[in-house]
Amino acid sequence: MTALLEVEDLHVEFRTRDGVAHVLNGVTYHVQAGETLAVLGESGSGKSVTAQAVMGILDTPPAFVTGGSVRFRGEELLTATPQRRREVRAEGIAMIFQDALSALNPVFTVGFQIEEQLRLRRGMSRRDARKRAVELLDLVRIPHAAQRVRDYPHQFSGGMRQRAMIAMSLALDPEVLIADEPTTALDVTVQAQIMDLLAELQRERRMALVLITHDLGVVAEVADRIAVMYAGRIVEHSDALSLFRAPGHPYTEALLRSLPHLESKGTKLETIKGLPPSLLRIPPGCPFHPRCPRAEQVCSLEVPPQVPLGSGRTSACHFALEVVGRG
């Protein structure tokens, strides 16, 4: 199948007073219609920056795309005109932002913010746009949608604000939906409701879903494929089942070991020693080597290639075949 969205060898740097931060260093992934790709990693690994580069909403300066390609249905977006990027944004690729309260404008009603794009992009009348806004709020299961459409963001709970954000992102029927940690700061019950809603909408619309998260539990439930990021790189790319059964990179292995288990009640949780590297001073060789229990001299000298593990899996580790073999 042809990918709807293709990101290839993407490089982004932030030029700051303290120096140049190499935030993305050759990120490559793709997603097809109806598929869920989870982008996983610690905070600061480059997950959200990749999404913002895809959407064309990075602040320049300090952010600069210095190389790579972003293609939607085969069309290059990085060299497209600003007008064309706006046309693709929301109609072709839409994004649910991490903090709904910050993403929604506090001085306009939720209904107005949904209606505005329908009037501007689709030429709808105010009456038709209001009707469609109510339908969208009802679609994402906001009770009494006809009344709530007149409410402001602060009048919604956290879960309802996230639903309203989903309604806004679906207004123009996008083919690719990027969800940037859509369940952050929500309780477990509401998290499950939001993820179930996204899965249902995806099935109905055959959308491609790029789910950015650090929640391994959510990933295990919904992902078809997983891209694991560390220090601005994809260090492992795998189907979800294979990754959880036999991770192919020491970083993924360490992430899975840090998960709490029922049988480990009363024991100390495992952690990954050390801290992620500063993107101003990424270590030579493999960026994970200062924290890696399997590191050898070659790891500090040579950047590891993407080692094929079979069935489309890859791992950026000099000892990837040994790691996955142990699983």
Whole-number Å distance between alpha carbons of 309 and 97? 33
Q: Tens of pLDDT along 236-293?
A: 999 999 999 999 999 999 999 888 877 777 788 888 989 999 999 999 999 999 999 9
Q: Tens of pLDDT along 62-95?
A: 999 999 999 999 999 999 999 999 999 888 999 9
Query: What confidence tier does 235 reach under pLDDT thresholds 50, 70, 90?
Result: very high
If you search the block for the tokens 């499950």, which residue do you land on?
Answer: 192
Label residue 34 exposed, middle or buried (CB < 10 Å: 0-12, 13-18, 19+).
middle
Average pLDDT for 7-30? 96
Q: Tens of pLDDT along 164-192?
A: 999 999 999 999 999 998 887 678 888 88
Average pLDDT for 97-118? 92
Whole-number Å distance between alpha carbons of 11 and 281? 16
Query: What is the model's pLDDT at position 327?
Result: 56
Label residue 188 exposed, middle or buried (CB < 10 Å: 0-12, 13-18, 19+).
exposed
Whole-number Å distance between alpha carbons of 291 and 272? 7
Helix, strand, coil tally for the chain in percent (to 5): 40, 25, 40
Q: What percent of the chain has pLDDT over 90?
A: 74
Residue type (1 letter), 136: L
Phi/psi class of residue 94: alpha, beta or left (left: φ > 0; alpha: ψ in -120 to 50)? beta
Whole-prediction pTM:
0.92
Give Rg (Cα) of the chain: 21
H or E element, residue 11: strand 5-16
Query: What is the model's pLDDT at position 326?
Result: 66
Q: Tens of pLDDT along 285-301?
A: 999 999 999 999 999 99
Label residue 274 exposed, middle or buried (CB < 10 Å: 0-12, 13-18, 19+).
exposed
In the chain, the domains with their CATH numbers are: 5-326 (3.40.50.300)
The SS3 assignment for 202 reads helix
Q: Tens of pLDDT along 120-164?
A: 999 999 999 999 999 999 999 999 999 999 999 999 998 899 999
H or E element, residue 71: strand 63-72
Query: What is the model's pLDDT at position 161?
Result: 92
Going 169 to 170 to 171 to 173, the CA torsion angle's sign is positive
| pLDDT-wise least confident of 16-20, 116-120, 211-215, 259-263 | 259-263
Query: What confidence tier does 1 reach under pLDDT thresholds 50, 70, 90?
Result: low
User: Is it true that the peptide bond before 61 is cis, omega within 30 degrees of 0?
Assistant: yes
Averaged pLDDT of the chain: 92
The SS3 assignment for 40 reads strand
Whole-number Å distance between alpha carbons of 225 and 210? 10
Per-residue pLDDT at 58 exceeds 90: yes
Query: What is the model's pLDDT at position 324?
Result: 78
Average pLDDT for 199-212? 92
Query: What is the model's pLDDT at position 262?
Result: 72
